[in-house]
Structure 1
Amino acid sequence: MKLFNVKLFALIVGTVFLLSCEEDPLELQPAQSLSTEEAISDLEGLQAALNGAYDGLQLLNYYGRNFPVMWEAHGDNVYISTRNSNRFLNNYQYQNNPFSGDISNLWSNGYNTILRANNIINAEIESTDQAAVNQAVGEAYAVRALVHFDLVRSFALPYSEGGGSQPGVPYITEAFIGEPARDAVSVVYENIIADLTQAKSLMTDGSVGPVRFTGSAVDALLARVYLYRATGDDLANAYSLANSVRAQYGMAAGADLVDFWDSSENDSEIFTLKFVGNESRGADNFGYIYIDQSIGYGDIRVSSDIINLYEAGDPRLDLIYEVGGEFYVGKFLGESASGIPGLVSPKIIRNSEMYMIAAEAAARRDDFANARTVLNEFRAFRGLAALTTTDVPNNGLLDEIMDERRREFAFEGHRSFDLFRLGRGLTRNQCGTGLEITAPCSISSGSPLRIFPIPQNEMDVNENMVQNAGYAE
């Protein structure tokens, strides 16, 4: 689906300006615009370009660290210590502004990655191995859908607020020169779903997972997208897809969780971005911001809000450790295979989420029996007792599921999105204690600060771009 009547240009993947946000020429034109003179013409070039698209997901300002950390700092699972390295303060304090480098880089790196994917999708390839071509193109469709999904949930109000009519982000399907306006949120979601459907139709190689997209990973992402949109048959679709996917993967038992986070490519990982030793960024490795100050920055520490939510004996408490009376995140210490502090392979989608999606989707459809069954199946993996209707009545089951989701995905960047997509505000019970920097103790369910502003450099060069409410143009 072509959204703009513009001339198509091919995108060279791997050029210097795509590898460095600091030297990004997109400061001179809208982030969705780029032109080059070379095109992919064979399978070898296609597969090299696909590696470049995955590299885009691994950038420091995307899943390499900043994207999940920025959104985790927006929540109530963590706080930023008064002893800090001056990172992510604006996110924790809800003082994001259009001039923020982190926000600008998320936007531009996201669209750079989309352009890499588009170069693959729009390539004309001569090859005798059509299955391999289709697999690569299918993966590119999945990458394009994922990035647009991350952008729309970061820069646009949740679907429920306006029924999708509110401004979303430009959905880009070509490399072009132009100044695209924001598509409605509903249009963005329609295109995400169309891209994922197309991706699934092209994929035949499941062996590339979990470090590349497979058909099952596409179904898992589609279940997440349906859960976020939650209109019409979406919740039923999310439930069905999540149930199908969860049956295809294992689940790490509670006793194995420390080892699970100490390694990657486990049988419960659905889509993971693999980092190896020579990809270390040193002090900019993902986990360094969380590791205590004997090794890392130790800026972001664990709040009492989340610690108090765990039941006694919950094995996930073993992923939180104490130093000097304060608590730190142990999920991202680094994988033993490399021995490099903070170097981890981000687990973007794992099977735990399929259980949580199925349980939530069922509860929101008032299918309490199935919701409770799925929740209790998951709790059994964590060594926790089943919850009966006496323990948690049906009218409190959704809240219990969301608490379980919060416990499972703490520190992975999901919490703020979960609150805001359900129309809930944020309350930080640990606030103003003197341990954390000054920040709001609550954010209302209608606050415009729940989403990021459109970057100012985009506003400056794109006359069709509209700023989000609550941020000065």
Structure 2
Amino acid sequence: MNKFKFNILSLGLIGALGMTSCADSFLDVSSKTESNTENFYKSETDAMRALIGCYDGWRQISSNPGIGFYVASTVMSDETFGGTGNGDDFKYQVIDAFNTSKSPSDMTLYTTDWKVYYAGVYRCNELMAHEEQIQWTSEATRGLYMGQARALRAILYFDMVRLWGNIPLFLEPVNENRAQVDPAEVYAAIFEDLKYAIANIPEDAKFADGDSGYINRYAAEALLARAYLFYSGYYGKDPGFTNEAGETTGVVTKADALAAVEDVISSGKYSLVDDFKNLWPASSLVPIPNSVGWDTEKSTYAGDQNSEIILAQRFTPTQDYDGNNDSNRWLVMMGMRQLNATPYGKGWGACTISPVFIEKYLDGDPRFTPSVIDLVGEGLAQGNDFNSSFVDWREYTGYTIKKYSPLVYGNGLPGTNSDGTAGFQECNANQWVIMRYADVLLMAAELGSSNASTYMHLVRSRAGLDDIAVTQQNIMDERARELAFEGHRYWDLLRQGVDVAADAIAASSAKVFNGGVESTVSYDRSLIIATKGLSQIPEDQITLSNGVLKQNPGWTR
């Protein structure tokens, strides 16, 4: 077994059986006292355990020490710069500028992400491969479990194919070294999985702790529309793949995508939260002075299970360095560089916001304050604590992300658990919001709904803005403000064309401070064009594959 194959297989099998991440559990495959592929997958209890493993595999993309898809999506956009500490390495600058010269040795940036994504895919494939040997009590239960597993696989592949473009495709739990396939083949699998989930997850499916942490029919429909918009925009055609037998699969049309989001809207299950700021903990939780916890009378956070959240990646504050990976590990990257300012917790200073992007907010737009920490405007850019932060911060602009700021209590302890005793960087439990209702309304408008004006009105009126014409440009501008820093902007740019993305990113160039010294962030748009907006395939994985994997254009040293 070569190393490339072992990296994918070992992580996947552990999760598929719902075991811990220690090596002993994986190696002891002949154990008669623990689950393995010979004595597992018999009952619905086994299936549920395996499905939990699939969800955990998805969560691991944000709980393991890679780059993190949602952080990378934000860094690559015109919204933010790489940031981090002035003495840190330059990997976030490589990602931000699509430029290997920023740090020529950083050609394995996404190694952990690559492994974790394929481990998650393996878990889903393992469950699906044993579907027929499970004793199902009803077809509805089968559809509920398998629909979620297939939707999770679709999400994992959708992230990967957007990020890397050219990837191997595994639809069964096999251990082999595979070449990359035509992206159309990956998208065909994504759409087939999402269509299966839509058709088979019962409309009235109930989950133990609410809906937003699990994939229901409506989440699958919204994801199908998102995938359609990206594919049809980036590739300039409707998705579909013709295999060697001449069969066309994965076909989804604009009408299909529109029908999917219209079904989400007409379900009546979701609605916009009245006040935008109540969507985000850092903009709506009020700390108790000199204490832990939040003032329940003054705090207005709508909660993780609010009416607008269709799908979220959920976490628990149980991260440590002994193999437990259940928290939002990369939330700390977006915290202000070593600066606590209640309720905003300190972090590593990535994703400093470009002042050019700030200009996209209209005067008086109430979405600005809940989205952006304005250090000067909020009186944070003063005092010894700020000065220490300022001289340690790379690409400081005076603006950083509030939506996903870590939290700190009124006594300065990290808001990672109820008494503030957990570490500030490893136990953050704030969820990533993957899909919310405002996004669905804007997608429906973009797809040509007869109710497009109404949907735009709903989104803009919450922000106190007047109605405007429903044009493609107006929709994209509205998405930029409404969905800022949620990991969508880069893909919205890229699906309009690599030239559009390159122009927007290049235009976000601005003056910054590196360790307190004035500097400039600038971009070479030709490098973005050369890469086609895709990220680097990890060079070590190319080596371990014996050259079967090929690097994406534009990423050679």
Aligned counterparts, 1:178-193, within 5 A:
178-193=176-191
Q: Distance in 2 between matches of 1:370 and 1:103?
A: 41
Q: Distance in 2 between matches of 1:264 and 1:356?
A: 22
Q: Distance in 1 between matches of 2:26 and 2:472?
A: 44
Q: Distance in 2 between matches of 1:344 and 1:36?
A: 34
Instruction: Give the deviation of 1:402 after TM superposition.
Output: 0.7
Q: Select 1:316's aligned residue among 329, 345, 367.
A: 367
Q: Distance in 1 between matches of 2:352 and 2:484?
A: 12
Q: Which residue of 2 aligns with 1:289?
A: 333
Q: Distance in 2 between matches of 1:130 and 1:70?
A: 40
Instruction: Give the deviation of 1:249 after TM superposition.
Output: 0.9
> Is residue 98–residue 456 contact of structure 1 (8 Å, CA) maintained in 2?
no
The more displaced of 62-71 and 206-215 is 62-71
Q: Distance in 2 between matches of 1:61 and 1:78?
A: 19
Matched, 1:126 2:209: no
> Is residue 50–residue 117 contact of structure 1 (8 Å, CA) maintained in 2?
yes
Q: Which residue of 2 aligns with 1:413?
A: 487
Aligned counterparts, 1:37-116, within 5 A:
39-59=40-60, 61=62, 66-81=68-83, 83-84=85-86, 85-86=88-89, 88-95=92-99, 100-116=107-123
Cα 1:60/1:144, change in 2 over 3 Å: closer
Cα 1:422/1:131, change in 2 over 3 Å: same
Alignment deviations for residues 220-278 of structure 1 (CA, whole Å, 9 cap, x no partner): 11111111122346333222222221343111233543556653121111111211333
Q: Select 1:153's aligned residue among 162, 165, 188.
A: 162
SS across alignment from 1:328: strand
Q: Which residue of 1 aligns with 2:205?
A: 206
Q: Distance in 1 between matches of 2:50 and 2:544?
A: 28
The more displaced of 202-211 and 87-96 is 87-96
Q: Which residue of 2 aligns with 1:380?
A: 461
Aligned counterparts, 1:164-179, within 5 A:
168-179=166-177
Aligned counterparts, 1:13-28, within 5 A:
13=15, 19=21
Aligned counterparts, 1:343-382, within 5 A:
343-362=429-448, 370-382=451-463
Alignment deviations for residues 353-394 of structure 1 (CA, whole Å, 9 cap, x no partner): 1112112222xxxx8x75444322321122211114xxxxx7
Q: Distance in 2 between matches of 1:60 and 1:171?
A: 18
Identity of aligned residues (%): 24
Alignment deviations for residues 393-437 of structure 1 (CA, whole Å, 9 cap, x no partner): x7xx21121111111221122122111121012334453513367
The more displaced of 423-432 and 449-458 is 423-432
Q: Select 1:276's aligned residue among 316, 320, 343.
A: 316
SS across alignment from 1:433: strand
Cα 1:442/1:456, change in 2 over 3 Å: closer
The more displaced of 121-130 and 267-276 is 121-130
Q: Select 2:513's aligned residue among 435, 441, 446.
A: 435
Matched, 1:453 2:543: no
Q: Distance in 1 between matches of 2:328 and 2:312?
A: 19
Gapped regions of structure 2 (runs ≥ 5) = 1-8, 28-35, 239-251, 283-300, 340-345, 376-380, 382-396, 408-414
Q: Which residue of 1 aligns with 2:4?
A: none
The more displaced of 450-459 and 403-412 is 450-459
Q: Select 1:332's aligned residue among 400, 404, 426.
A: 404
Q: Select 2:259's aligned residue among 234, 240, 248.
A: 240
Instruction: Give the deviation of 1:15 after TM superposition.
Output: 6.9
> Is residue 147–residue 198 contact of structure 2 (8 Å, CA) maintained in 1?
yes
The more displaced of 206-215 and 274-283 is 274-283
Cα 1:16/1:103, change in 2 over 3 Å: farther
> Is residue 427–residue 441 contact of structure 1 (8 Å, CA) maintained in 2?
yes
The more displaced of 137-146 and 36-45 is 36-45
Q: Distance in 1 between matches of 2:200 and 2:112?
A: 31
Cα 1:317/1:471, change in 2 over 3 Å: closer
> Is residue 276–residue 462 contact of structure 2 (8 Å, CA) maintained in 1?
no
Cα 1:171/1:14, change in 2 over 3 Å: closer
Q: Which residue of 2 aligns with 1:30?
A: none
Q: Distance in 2 between matches of 1:223 and 1:17?
A: 34
Q: Distance in 2 between matches of 1:118 and 1:285?
A: 26
SS across alignment from 2:176: coil
Q: Distance in 1 between matches of 2:64 and 2:507?
A: 28
SS across alignment from 1:321: strand
Cα 1:311/1:469, change in 2 over 3 Å: same
The residue type equivalent to 2:44 in the other structure is L
SS across alignment from 1:227: helix
SS across alignment from 1:300: coil
Q: Select 2:551's aligned residue among 443, 451, 467.
A: 467
> Is residue 77–residue 489 contact of structure 2 (8 Å, CA) maintained in 1?
yes
SS across alignment from 1:469: coil
Q: Which residue of 2 aligns with 1:223?
A: 225
Cα 1:99/1:379, change in 2 over 3 Å: same
Matched, 1:301 2:322: no
SS across alignment from 1:435: strand
SS across alignment from 2:259: helix
Give the alignment's Cα RMSD to 1 decimal.
3.5
Cα 1:338/1:82, change in 2 over 3 Å: closer
Instruction: Give the deviation of 1:464 after TM superposition.
Output: 3.3
Q: Distance in 1 between matches of 2:191 and 2:22?
A: 30
Q: Distance in 1 between matches of 2:64 and 2:225?
A: 20
The residue type equivalent to 1:257 in the other structure is N
Q: Distance in 1 between matches of 2:78 and 2:49?
A: 40
Cα 1:224/1:409, change in 2 over 3 Å: same
> Is residue 257–residue 316 contact of structure 1 (8 Å, CA) maintained in 2?
no
Instruction: Give the deviation of 1:112 after TM superposition.
Output: 0.5
Cα 1:461/1:82, change in 2 over 3 Å: closer
Q: Distance in 2 between matches of 1:176 and 1:283?
A: 29
Gapped regions of structure 1 (runs ≥ 5) = 1-7, 26-34, 157-167, 389-393
Q: Distance in 2 between matches of 1:121 and 1:110?
A: 17
Instruction: Give the deviation of 1:83 after TM superposition.
Output: 4.0
Instruction: Give the deviation of 1:127 after TM superposition.
Output: 3.8
Q: Distance in 1 between matches of 2:462 and 2:482?
A: 11
> Is residue 82–residue 435 contact of structure 1 (8 Å, CA) maintained in 2?
no
Instruction: Give the deviation of 1:51 after TM superposition.
Output: 1.1
Matched, 1:194 2:203: no
